[in-house]
Each structure stands twice: as structure tokens, then as C-alpha cells.
Amino acid sequence: MIDNIQSDPLTEPVTPTTEFVTHAGNRTGERTADHAAWIQDMEDRRNRATEFEAKRQTVKAKEIKVELSVLDEVLNAVDAAAEDFEQSYGKPNQPKIEDDCLRH
């Protein structure tokens, strides 16, 4: 790297070569020694994924069934409560007042 430093500070340094870098496998394009193991591992992963998907389909959540009669009862109760509130809001509670008067 010291060879790349030149006396002129305005000149950019020369980059080192990368011939020492090798890629997986040899340079003739042949497969690496662990290629067969890699292919087997990929096949095993695909098989496990297929088994998992089949199991997931069998354990899949069932469709939720809603009884409309229960919902109808609840909606009717809410409607009755709303109507009662509209009729009695801001008015004195007459039965409670009468009870209080009888006690005293």
C-alpha cells in the first residue's frame, strides 16, 4: 500500500487488485463439494414445508357460526333501553320520589 502513495498529493492512489479473491467452487464453473448436500437440504426443506402446510390446513380454525336469535335479543334490549332513556331523561324518577315520601 505504501507503493501506491505518490509524491503528488493531487493524484489519486491506485487501487489494489482483487486477484486473490476466489468464489465458491473453482474457476472452471464446476460445482462445489457440498452442492449435493445443499440440494438435499433444499429438498428436505420443501418436504417439511409441504407437511407443515398440510397440517396447518387440518388444524385451521373452523368458521364461526353466529346465532341470529341471540343477536336479535341483544339488539332489542339495547333498543328498549335507548327508548326508555329517551322517555325518562331529565324527568324526576316518580316511583322513587313517592317511596321516599312514604318513608318520611
* Domain boundaries along the sequence of the chain: 68-103
Answer yes or no: is pLDDT of 28 > 60: no
pLDDT band for 1, please (50, 70, 90 cuts): very low
Nearest-Å Rg of the Cα atoms of the chain is: 41
Q: In sequence order, what are the residues at sequence separation of 6 or more whose Cβ sits closer than 8 angstroms to the Cβ of residue 1?
A: 16
pLDDT in tens, 40-73: 999 999 999 999 999 988 887 777 777 888 889 9
The reply to whether the predicted model has a pTM over 0.75 is no
